[in-house]
Amino acid sequence: MKKILLLVLFFALGNLFAFEHLTKDNFIEKIKGKNVIVDFYATWCPPCKILAGTLEDFDKVKPNNVTIYKVDIDQYRDLAISYGVKALPTLAYFEDGELVTTEVGLKSVKDLEDSVKEYFE
């Protein structure tokens, strides 16, 4: 039983680190000139872990012109504040470095596909 629990924990934590993490030093540079979804999350947030898995699934079907990044709000609270993050998980949609909108809460792959069509096409 302990082995199963450890495996589940390992895979859940692995999802949190599957995408490139942004810092205050590289944030602007990384989102410029692209369609970007930034996942503002915290390692202690259970819904954030669920959304991490959904983002992994979405990454397999998303358009090639969309990039996903993550920001740990505990490490980069100033970024979260500057983009109005008040609840977790928050997804911020950027087009060519400009914030288009934010969405709070859990999303399905279909929700993410619909959001990308609405905000980036």
Closest CA to 69 of 5, 23, 113, 6: 23
Instruction: State the chain's maximal CA–CA distance in angstroms.
Output: 48
In this structure, the chain runs to a length of 121
Half-sphere exposure of 118 (CA within 13 A, CB side): 12
| Per-position DSSP letters for 8-71, written without gaps between them | HHHHHHHHHTSSPBP-TTTHHHHHTTSEEEEEEE-TT-HHHHHHHHHHHHHHHHS-TTEEEEEE
Active site residues: 45, 48
